[in-house]
A and B are shown apart, each in its own frame.
Chain A
């Protein structure tokens, strides 16, 4: 189903999407999208939505199953509290991506802004995976409780930092993988850095393969550089603050 979103309010656009999805339409092509918020929000069917243009904030918030392909840049709060599904952005994206994300995948081709991956969490078979082709701003993976966050730094010069300040502050679960070097000055005191070992690479491999397929990249090229792994020092970083 093709929808021309030019000049359409998000509420109308989303109502059309939801109604059509409920009636069995499995594939959508949205044309001329220009800042409409909440695309895919609360959708709980395994439909595929191709967005041509720039979707607005909260793309895929509370989403539970659909696949969204964005042929353009994304804005803020993509995959907010997402439960399942997949979002692929063929461009850069903004702040607060994957906040509280509990499952599914978010692949960004370019760079992302501040506060990405805050409070991501995993539960049983639900393990959210976020892979970012470029770098990220400050507060990356703050309060992270589970899942996998990956920064590839593709196109970054050697020695150029992929992260901002306070990366992994308050982290108490999950893992952050950063390709190339990590400046410890930029990390929160709740994380430790290790070189990713064979076991870690085995965890990463299928996700990276999928990422490369989406964007037509060469996995061998990505794997040429080692990854650093950030893990929480403690699962209870704030356990000793109180007088009982």
Chain B
């Protein structure tokens, strides 16, 4: 290029020289090469992404990272981000890439929904003294029950809590991260999801707690893989990049990824935007039943889509095509890599999509034919409870699980430099993530959220998550217009 970049650094690294003991741990720990030791710690601020690894590993807490506030003169319209992106594209001519979910200030409908509680007229239940049931079964339920105990129920996934781990591929995240998710799913009685990237041989033994995914690149997909999990998921779309394929760059395809995805080392893994054997609902049905044939009708088949404009009609088609589980990912959903412009401007909020889909399936009398999993920015057990009240059978957490493992949401997953050993394949970084500790943190998170869910159920005066499922009467909206309330199917607070 010849000329130095005009991009000012986003962050400034400050090292307190009085406190620094010159141990160089920060220099070693920076995955992005922003720190060096030259007679003391020096920083190349242009490389800092504020992943906070150095600030955490510094034994003297001598490092702080600050936003470079005056890098761009204030302007309410031409925001610093807009100008930064233009400069970057002017210098490179490339599409902007990003990681994690949409961080723009769009409305968050979760935060406009409030949960009911019992007072006087019907009693609340104390979850510390009485059993609270979070047990959830995912899969097709019968159209009707017969009372001679002859009703046949299709295959189901049994969950001890209505929270599963969202699909994240081995490739986008490290083997240690995948291992921790599998172990935590086993310990907590839930499931993890392979994402599109196959299942490493070391994780086959956790198959009873794994949903295996089939996506457009068909990486690592074969008969044994399909039969290893508790369910098979066809990935059509992802909330962070609806309608967009995926490119795992060759440098993230070392030996173990290559073995698992069954592609040569160092080659790009290109997942096309559509499945080229699915151009219609009929084609989707064909693949659903191909998978059912290949697994002897012993496992539910899930279909994962991104929440988009006509999601209710699409969902109806998917259920009629034979899906046993419908997985909807909202526009806040995370990603290891997506074009920024797609992540930030395509798709719709999961709250509205979920309400519309649940309504439509009920109206058509087919809601029992598939369970609904939703994801896309579930931040705490309050979001979980609200999602279930809106009609979800379970929620999936991706970003929250990564944060529990150490992720600081610096959004640089696509660089392979993750200093926390999560979204990287560099061996020296991968080994930083202790799978035992990460497992423990994930199990703790699920335990904590499950306890909170039980408190919420108790305050609602019900003793099973099943009693909250689809019970929108227990939600009220605040600060929402009439049409949004109608779509959500909730009354305004005060009514």
CB of B218 within 8 A of CB of A81, answer: yes
> Are the C-beta atoms of B293 and A146 separated by less than 8 Å?
no
A61-B290, A80-B290 as given contacts; A173 in contact with B223, CB under 8 Å: no
Q: Decide: B94 and A239 in contact? CB cutoff 8 A.
A: no
Q: Is A111 an interface residue (CB 8 A)?
A: no
Structural contact, B97 and A243, CB atoms closer than 8 A: yes
B96 at the binding interface (Cβ < 8 Å): yes
A105 is an interface residue with CB less than 8 A from chain B: no
User: Contact: B217 with A100, CB < 8 Å?
Assistant: yes
Determine the chain B residues whose CB is within 8 A of the CB of A57 once the complex forms. Answer: 286
- Set B226, B247, B272, B289: member contacting A37, Cβ < 8 A: B289
The contact string, 1 if C-beta is below 8 Å from chain B, for chain A 209-244, is: 000000000000000000000000001111111111
Are B276 and A142 touching (Cβ within 8 A)? yes
CB neighbours of B294 from chain A (8 A): 41-42, 61-62
B262 touches A121 (CB 8 A): yes
Distance between A22 CB and nearest chain B CB, rounded to angstroms: 11
Beta-carbon contacts of B283-305 to A below 8 Å, as 1s and 0s? Answer: 00011011101111000000000
Complex CA–CA separation, A71 to B277 (angstroms): 24
Of A77, A83, A115, A146, the residue contacting B263 (CB under 8 A) is A146
- B250: CB under 8 A from chain A? yes
CB distance from A146 to the nearest CB of B (A): 7
Binary flags per residue of B205-241, CB closer than 8 Å to A gives 1, else 0: 0000000001011100111101000000000000000
Task: Give the contacting residue for A241; candidates B94, B221, B224, B264; CB below 8 A.
Answer: B94
Q: Is A107 an interface residue (CB 8 A)?
A: no
Chain B, interface residues (CB within 8 Å), range: 35 or more
- The reply to whether B97 and A42 form a contact with Cβ atoms under 8 Å apart is no
Bound complex: CA A44 to CA B226 (Å): 12
B290 touches A62 (CB 8 A): yes
Known: A61-B294, A62-B294, A145-B263. A170 touches B270 (CB 8 A): yes
A225 to B94 CA separation, bound complex (whole angstroms): 44
Taking a contact as CB atoms under 8 Å apart, the answer to whether B415 and A244 are in contact is yes
Q: Interface on chain A toward B: helix, strand, loop, or mixed SS?
A: loop
Q: Evaluate contact between A173 and B267: CB separation under 8 angstroms.
A: yes
Q: Which residue of B lies closest to A142 (CB)?
A: B276
B207 CB to closest chain A CB (Å) equals: 17
- B67 on the A face (CB < 8 A): no
Residue B317 is within 8 A (CB to CB) of chain A in the complex: no
Chain A 109-132 against B: per-residue CB contact (8 Å), 1 yes, 0 no? 000000100110111001000000
Interface residues of B (CB under 8 A from A): 88-89, 91-97, 214, 216-218, 221-224, 226, 247, 249-250, 258, 262-264, 267-268, 270, 272, 276-277, 286-287, 289-291, 293-296, 339, 414-415
**With contacts A80-B290, A100-B221, A121-B263 known, what are 19 further pairs, Cβ within 8 A?**
A37-B289, A38-B293, A42-B295, A62-B223, A62-B291, A64-B223, A64-B224, A100-B217, A100-B218, A102-B222, A119-B217, A119-B272, A119-B276, A121-B262, A122-B264, A139-B276, A143-B272, A236-B249, A243-B97
